[in-house]
Amino acid sequence: MSKQVNPCTFVLFGASGNLSRIKLIPGLFRLDAAGRFPAEMKILSIGRGEMSREAWQAEIKGMLDAKFKNGYDQEVYQRFIARNFYHANPPTDPDAFSKLKNALSDEKVFPQNLAYFLSVRPTDFATIVQQLHQVGLTDESKYWRRVLIEKPFGTNLQTAQALQAELTKYLKESQIYRIDHYLGKSAIQNIMLTRFTNAVFEPLWNHHHIDHVQITNNETLGVGDRTTFYNATGALRDMFQSHLLQTMALVAMEKPKDFTPESIRAEKINLLKSIRPVDVNHLHKNVFRAQYAGGRVDVGDGHSEKVLSYLEELKRDGVDSSKTETYAAVKLFVDNERWKGVPFYVRTAKRMHEGNTAIAIRFKKSPIELNGQQQQNWLIINIQPRECIKMEVQSKIPGLDIATRTLSIDAPQRQQGDESIDSYETLLLNLMEGDPSQYLHIDEVLAQWRLVDPIVEAWAKDDTPVHQYPAGSRDPLESKVIFEGQDQFWRYSIELGGDKF
Ligand code: BG6
């Protein structure tokens, strides 16, 4: 279902930053190559420093050369480069936004529907919107004006509410597009489609049949050069607060009335509001945090590399101690009929033995015990690196005896020749189409912070030494304290039968 993009001008704040270079400009190029832009569409990049249009176009060429090492279509390039303009908005210039308005006022060049992408420091979101408003550039009486806000939307409930209050002085909710790039991933979008465009899953998708659900994001990467940001943020706020809770909402929500943005978001909001707040009086039964120690991590092709501990990385950057978690595992329950008593184990970590994002659903015990065992099926929806759905079933071992083994029905989502689309491309297109279904409504953001804040606060007061796990290892054994059942274990990637400890 592809919608039409109206002629518009895409206004990119923070155009010379990393996100823009690596994802946004190449993403816009690919959308152009896919024929998704009307002829009149323009891109106005905004940076702090003065630069000629030609110099900026040369920069863009450098970004495309770096991204598309095997080359790209020259005809598309000529079309794309002709869409691109540059405007300097020095922060010290009190007339900067009036000048921006003047630059955009040439209607023959710039379509007046405006899509703003704020790829800037979170502290600048509200100020930019206020200044756009002051010069009339958020006014929708004749044209649409939409503002994309990068994450994080606040750092807790209070700051998210404050940011919302600022933004809504100048914008309507329908003009605000709060991004979570996970919602642009094809495999994440497939969760809802798997559930609601097949008849086989829905009857099983409840507490009668499901034992528990695991939602996992593991990375082999460490915090890299983002120590300042990360140390103030931690795994819970960096990954769990939005990417993982959004994933959980898609796994657990009720069937939307239809696939319109309003219906989808309404069900996600309901679900997020039905998640029971973690009981911080029993913190150690419900959440587990840890930090990576030094170790070796897989760097592909059978090689590994020695890496520093998180605390050593901080020390290198002048910080002496920290309780910030690089591993977080949280047990959640959903207070509704469907999910009565079913634990959702949601975990995320850096510097693990493998990089994998998955939803693993374990079903209840088989109706019959065979050879002293009642087996349990797993359904795995793997998000990355492999996008696939895998169902593990018991099947007879051919031969004289009555015995079973686990077979795996494996359906790769990606078939040969399928397009590979970066999550930002989908979301950029949705912004210009005016489709907010893969963006966060403010009620989702607030519900997420309501779940996260009590844990962050309880951890801040908790003086128990933060557990250390060797970089490149599996979940710390101690994290098992959050399991409800003795027979529950962390499920790793998608090998047959699953790894356990
Ligand atoms: C970002 C986090 O939002 O998501 C990073 O800030 C994390 O810490 C990244 O590495 C993971 O995204 P992806 O798409 O690589 O799974």
Exactly one of 243, 284, 303, 441 is catalytic; name it: 243
- Structure token digits, residue 117: 């992408």
Ligand 1 centre distance from Cα of residue 451 (Å): 20
Judged against a pLDDT cut of 90, whether residue 5 lies above it is answered with no
Atom 14 of ligand 1: nearest residue by CA position: 182
* Of 493, 492, 73, nearest in space to 501 by CA: 492
Which helix (H) or strand (E) segment holds residue 457: the answer is helix 442-461
pLDDT, greater one: 233 or 1? 233
Q: Is the CB of 453 under 6 A from ligand 1?
A: no
Write out pLDDT tens, residues 156-179.
999 999 999 999 999 999 999 999
Q: Is 180 in the pocket of ligand 1 (CB under 6 A)?
A: no
Specify whether 243 is catalytic.
yes
Ligand 1, atom 8, residue with closest C-alpha: 238
Q: What percent of the chain clears pLDDT 90, i.e. is strictly above it?
A: 92
Q: What pTM was estimated for this model as a whole? A: 0.95
Structure tokens at 44: 């106005």
Residue 500 confidence (pLDDT) above 70: no
**Closest ligand 1 atom, residue 242 Cα:** 3
In this prediction, residue 496 has a pLDDT band, given cuts at 50, 70 and 90, of very low
Q: pLDDT grade, residue 497 (50/70/90)? A: very low
Q: Evaluate if residue 499 carries a pLDDT over 80.
A: no
* Ligand 1 atom closest to 219 (CA): 10
| Closest listed residue to residue 306, CA positions, set 316, 295, 291 | 295
Q: Ligand 1: which residue has its CA nearest to atom 9?
A: 239
Q: How far apart are the first and last CA of the chain?
A: 44
Å from CA of 25 to ligand 1 middle:
19
Nearest CA to ligand 1 atom 13: 182
267-272 long-range Cβ contacts below 8 angstroms, 24+ apart: 268/441, 268/444, 269/441, 269/443, 269/444, 269/447, 271/334, 272/245, 272/443, 272/444, 272/447, 272/448, 272/451
Going from the Cα of 128 to the center of ligand 1, the distance in angstroms, rounded, reads 25
CB 150 near ligand 1, within 6 Å: no
Q: What is the pLDDT of residues 85-107, one digit of tens each?
A: 999 999 889 999 999 999 999 99
Which has the closest alpha carbon to 412: 383, 373, 434? Answer: 383
The ligand 1 atom nearest the CA atom of 230: 8
Atom 12 of ligand 1: nearest residue by CA position: 182
Q: Which atom of ligand 1 is nearest to the CA of 217?
A: 16
Cα 470 to averaged position of ligand 1 atoms, centre (Å)? 21
In this structure, CATH architecture of domain 183-421+441-482:
2-Layer Sandwich (3.30)
Pick the CATH number of 9-150 from 3.40.190.10, 3.40.50.720, 3.20.20.70, 3.90.550.10: 3.40.50.720
Enclosing H/E stretch for 163: helix 157-170
Distance 107 CA to ligand 1 centre (A): 38
Residue 179 CA to ligand 1 center (angstroms) comes to 13
Q: Which atom of ligand 1 is nearest to the CA of 221?
A: 10
**Per-domain boundaries in the chain:** 9-150, 183-421+441-482
How confident is the model over 248-274, as a mean pLDDT? 96
Asked if pLDDT for residue 265 goes beyond 50, the answer is: yes
**422 in ligand 1 pocket by Cβ < 6 Å?**
no
Closest atom of ligand 1 to CA, residue 185: 14
CA of 196 to the centre of ligand 1 (A): 27
pLDDT in tens, 404-417: 999 999 999 988 88
The DSSP bridge pattern shows strands 303-307 and 287-300 to be antiparallel
Confidence of residue 419 (pLDDT cuts 50, 70, 90): confident
For ligand 1, whether the C-beta of 238 sits within 6 Å is: yes
The length of the chain, given as a count of residues: 501
